[in-house]
Amino acid sequence: MKLRHAILIWVAVFGIAIFLGQPFGAWASHRWGCWKYADATISWYNGATGDYFNIYNEEARTDSNSWSPFTDITLQSVSASGSTDHANAFNGFYGATGWLGIAELRSVSGCIVRNGRARLNQSYLDNGSYSRTNKKHVACQEVGHLFGLNHNRGSSTTCMNDTILTAPQPNTHDRDLINSIY
Amino acid sequence: MKRKNFLILTILVALCGLSVSAMFGLKRHQDDKAQQPLRSKSHAVWKEVYKNVDEMVKSADTIVLGQAIDRQPGRIAYSSTGEDSLPFEVVSFRVVNNIKGKNGDGIIYVERAGGVDHEGNQVYLDADGGDFEVGNSYLLFLKQQEDGPYYYQVNDQGRYHVEGGRLKGVDKDDEVSMMFHERPVNEGLRMVKESKDKVTGGKSKQE
């Protein structure tokens, strides 16, 4: 083969490889900044009421594909909210805010989350337009944010996709990312 | 060149390409981390996420270019058990350019989560783009509260800070935000007006 032809092929291969390598960068971008808890054992306070209490527990700890058994994270239930190494979950009527749920890192130390809060907005979620699956998707996503994950619009099988409400569980990509963080 | 040598070199070139691409991804991630402000942050599941500008323009009750002129503490909402509180603030905007919707006296009031909670803790939420800065101008896509006098931002796609004559979006990974991000203000306004004409069937009369 002539060298000129070989070089042309190599340029094409290099370009294709650059294109195909982009998903690796995207993989990293599904992490939310540098935020993480100190280690994989996190105090879990479920301060929700009614079925929202069940929804949070299912998404965090009891469903087979919930955050705690599905990933390396271990959630230890505690009886009061806390601000040292805590993921706290609440529900309430927060009004017309535009959001169904919100995850807040209330206090951090460097990149270490000390006090994370997940909130579900009943002003919308209780208006009859949202199924239990939808509510579980929101709860799953807010809890996932607290652990350090960003939105992921590239997959319809993860609750970290903020454009759908029908995937109330983390997927294997989330699990791999969480396990690489902790 | 021998076939075997060619194939080996081709594989090496492909691996180089993948490595370079992955390194750029990693660098971008590290840059994001370096820019991470050491303040509390937030992420939201928005009620509505728009696929394109037309959807957002159609959905918004009001679209304005406005200058933030005041921020005042607002209500405090509590969780169902009362142990968690979420403060709100009301930001006043002087309307510079009203593209959609009505605003009677040229002042519009936007409510957003943030401020000081019932225990005196500063709550910083930036899922919507963070605190508005008084004196700065913003292109805002708003909805009116059904049960209150205030407006609220449709979502994080609905805010563009004016900086150096250009619009700055909140989420640099979002397609709709990127349609406006870094565009000159006048160009962004023209885009919104054209979209409004399209979604309203050509009735472009400014309200």
Other beta carbons within 10 angstroms of residue A3's beta carbon come to: 9
Mean pLDDT by groups of 10 residues along chain B of 207 residues: 77 69 54 47 95 97 97 96 96 96 86 89 92 98 91 98 97 93 97 93 55
Question: Is B6 an 8 Å CB contact of chain A?
Answer: yes
Q: What is the pLDDT of residue B207?
A: 43
Q: Which residues, other chains included, contact A98 with Cβ-Cβ below 8 Å and sequence gap of 6+? A: B44, B46, B47, B48, B128, B143, B152, B153, B154, B155
Interface check for A90 against chain B (CB to CB < 8 A): the answer is: yes
Q: What pLDDT was estimated at residue B40?
A: 46
Among the partner residues A10, A25, A48, nearest to B13 by beta-carbon distance: A10
Q: Return the percentage of chain A with pLDDT > 90, whole number.
A: 83
Given this model, what pLDDT does residue A162 score? 96
Question: Quick one: pLDDT at residue B91?
Answer: 98
Interface of B with A in 156-185 (CB under 8 A): 173
Asked if A24 and B1 come within 8 Å (Cβ–Cβ), the reply is: no
Helix (H) or strand (E) holding A25: helix A3-29
Distance CA B18, CA B26 (A): 12
* pLDDT the model gives residue B13: 74
SS3 B167: strand
**How far is residue A129 from each of residues A52, A125, A135, B6, measured CA to CA in Å?**
16, 7, 10, 61
Question: Which residue has 């903020």 as its token pair?
Answer: A162
A97 contacts B45? CB cut-off 8 A:
no
Spatial separation of the C-alpha atoms in residues A156 and A149, rounded to whole Å: 16
Strands (E), chain A: 36-37, 41-46, 74-77, 86-92, 99-109, 112-121
B44 touches chain A (CB under 8 A): yes
Rounded Cα–Cα distance for residues A58 and A139 (Å): 9
CB contact under 8 A, B79 and A91: yes
Question: Using CA atoms, how far apart are residues A107 and B38, in angstroms rounded to an integer?
Answer: 9
pLDDT at B37 (0 to 100): 45
Write phi, then psi, for A40 (nearest 5 degrees): -80, -5
Candidates B19, B42, B123; nearest CB to A103: B42
CB-CB contact of B26 with A25 (8 Å) = yes
Q: What is the pLDDT of residue B152?
A: 98
182 residues of chain A, pLDDT tens digit each: 677 777 777 777 766 666 565 555 555 679 998 999 999 999 999 999 999 999 999 999 999 999 999 999 999 999 999 999 999 999 999 999 999 999 999 989 999 999 999 999 999 999 999 999 999 999 999 999 999 999 999 999 999 999 999 999 999 999 999 999 99
Question: What's residue B206's pLDDT?
Answer: 46
* Rounded Cα distance, B84 and A121, in Å: 13
A1, A4, A18, best to mutate vs chain B, most B CBs in 10 Å: A18
pLDDT score recorded for residue A25? 54
